[in-house]
Amino acid sequence: MGSLTDRVALITGAGLGIGRGIARRYAAEGAAIVVAERDVAAGERCVADLGREFGARAEFIATDVGVKEQVLAAVELAASRFGRLDVLVNNAWGGGAIGRVEKKSDAQMEHGIRVGLMSAFWAMQAAFPHMQRRGWGRIVNICSLNGVNAHMGTLEYNTAKEAQRALTRTAAREWARYGICANVICPAAATTAYAAFFKANPETASAMAAANPMGRMGDPEKDIAGVALFLASEDCRYLTGNTLFVDGGSHINGVAWAPELPD
């Protein structure tokens, strides 16, 4: 019996990186998984792997989290296919270009808010009645040190993720009486997005890793997903409204994030 046996988890952006790592850890602990992913090939591959490696019940649904109807459809799939929804992980992000505050467009900011804040809001609202009805629920929102430390060049991402932290704390306060715990992870992980950044900015990325007290970026499955597993479990019954920095200690003194930004 795993710690998530008979639980049902919906994970956005589960085809790659941290989302995939969390899906694998949850599946290994007995959860049924709904993989909500925009990249169809990655999502279908993740579901196939969960079934083959862990014998997990898993479903894929193509989901652009910037589209409300698709987010609601993912929640409905979990409830209709498995009869319940116990754990919601808001992890997906839609990408963005690095640039100075004064260069950011309305479209960039609106995109960031939709995929980084509104998507979590929509999913949480839709998941709430399923969790409330059972008197048990876990919400794990993946935010970022970028927002906490106000890293340069990523305004829309920073803004959306800090707003998502406020959303999480407010929901934690209001929903605690229903047995719903809502928490945030701010990770430092070697994800697909990090690999792309490293390729484009090798010196900055190397400096970031070197400044980490543990001297490396985390592994999505081995270093990040275990904390997400705890936050989804019964052991998290008295922890809510918190932000856990799963970052090798990067948050202690801050990690340099100073890419070259054109004037």
3 CB contacts (<8 Å, ≥6 apart)? 29, 30, 229, 233, 234, 235
State whether residue 219 is helix, strand or coil: coil
**Nearest CA among 138, 130, 29 for reference residue 81:** 130
- Catalytic residue list contains 157: yes
Say which of 26, 157, 178, 194 is annotated catalytic. Answer: 157
DSSP string, 148-191: HTT-TT-HHHHHHHHHHHHHHHHHHHHHGGGTEEEEEEEE-B--
Q: Report the distance separating Cα 185 and Cα 158, nearest Å.
A: 14
Active site residues: 157
